[in-house]
Structure 1
Amino acid sequence: MAVQSAGMGKPARSTFFRWTERRREYLAFLILIFPNLTQLAVWTYWPFINSIFISITDWNLLSPVHEIVGLNNYVALFQSPTFWQVMRNTVIFTVGSIFIRLGLSLALAVLLNQWLIARGFWRLIIFSPHITTTAAMALVWSAMYDPNHGPIAAVLKLFGIQFPNVLANIQWVLPALMLVAIWKALGFSTVIFLAALQGVDRELKDAAAVDGANMWQAFWHVSFPAISPVTYFLLITGLIDAFQTFDLVSVMTNGGPVNASNLYVYYLYRESFHYYRMGSASAIAVIFFTIVMTMTYVQNRFASRWVHY
């Protein structure tokens, strides 16, 4: 009986030690992750929750007193013509700049992936605008767009063409900003696409060539599906980045003329720190978060149809 009792005690002791070891590992995991969780809670989750609360108040920075007004801020936004104009500007700017940028960067990546004289030099030239600060770049492009002394106006003047003041023109100001945004981000997308193209299995291309596929068919049916995860990554990050554009508008146009270049984040900034309407600004921020989350969900929902991992 004593032998049996001793034998029966070993599994229980072994189980106890295993449970103790698991608790130690779990405790170590909590200790290691606690700083990151604290940072997320303080700088992300709490400000977001606080923004939701502020969005249902009439808080003004000039007055410490504020009352809960329910959904009045949201109703006022949805009834505001300025809000819908800003939404329209943002959608046009975001969709136009990201798809033109992805198309151009993919074409440049395909070109750089082929035999080309001084290929490294051209890679450097294409990527260099990406490392330029947005504010400095905006100042340079503002000078280039100058209708009196800018280089674009000077070149067109040689051909007898009068260059308009595009930054003060309702029809041209948004395309002018889109051009700058595309130029700024083109190098990054090109380098990422180029790295993806260089990682495509050469045997797949050779097999397509043996089957009689030309260069375009091999690219469309072999290379493009192979780089679809990279395309998806650039699409997601590009849409979010374009939707958050602020510096270009602040430096080059201040949202003018007549809100023709007023984009969403700049609109939020003016509500916050120009008109001091923090309740309305928080409602704009909550709507912005909802839009970005919806876009990301929709893209993730349909990504499996064209993204091949």
Structure 2
Amino acid sequence: MPHSTASPASDFASPAALSEALNRHAYLADEGLATACFLSLRMSRPLFLEGEAGVGKTELAKTLAAVLDVPLIRLQCYEGLDAAQALYDWDFPRQLLHLRAAEAAGVTDVQRLESELYDRRFLVARPLLRALETSTPERPSVLLVDEIDRADDEFEAFLLEVLSDFTISIPELGTVRAERPPVVIVTSNRTREVHDALKRRCLYHWLEHPAFDREVAIIRRRLPEASERLVRQVAGAAARLRGLDLLKTPGIAESLDWTEALVALGARDLDPDTAAVTLGAVLKYREDTERVAKGLDVLLDGS
């Protein structure tokens, strides 16, 4: 069955319209990201998002699924992930129960039993297969392949093959082809270089940490209960933290966590004492916390 040529980007007249739709779901995309996302939808090409952890790559996929009102299917990558874990598996316990029930019922037709064991009802669909099966001509699913840089080279090559034709071959059942390719977002924190072959298959966008004013706007959008002064202080301190040689640079996700923690404590502004007891919301390594704690006055200077 040929893929549908319709595009979910037809819901949006321009990148600006898509940006506004994302904004209504509390995701503030800059012009570059909105354009890359719009073109990915219009051209039916995977979008490869690269950048440091916490800059909003995963959140974009979640928000895009909400904007399009379609399922979000997430494949979390990790070292040792293989094709079977990403595609499908057979439900062996259910197959065994079926065999025992057949034996109890006196079924002796071996060929019939074998065909029944490999029926679709005993197949457990993993993320890639679910993404293909849930994408319809009317609405595609959103497939998030998260942190592809954590997977092995072999899995990366396999993923490239799947993204090339959006078909999966199941020897016992035949070929599964998406009625319409899912919207694909691939993310990488760049812990290793991803091969050019996969990047060439995708549109590419690098996500920077947001500029000060944009970070303030994002925090205010997500946490309207936080005071303007507190938000500006957190955004300024986060920007200065990113200028330090830390083991883990805080992203916008950590800025949001820090602000939320401060709001939970009833803070209206960020002072050294309050900052000291809440650093665990923004810094994730003991060495970073100890280093920053020694210079909180400098960190908050100008906030």
What range is the shorter-chain TM-score in?
under 0.3
**TM-score (norm: length of structure 1):** 0.23
In terms of Rg, which structure is larger?
1
**TM-score (norm: length of structure 2):** 0.23
More strand by share: 2
Q: Which has the higher contact order (CA 8 A, sep 6+)?
A: 1
More helix by share: 1
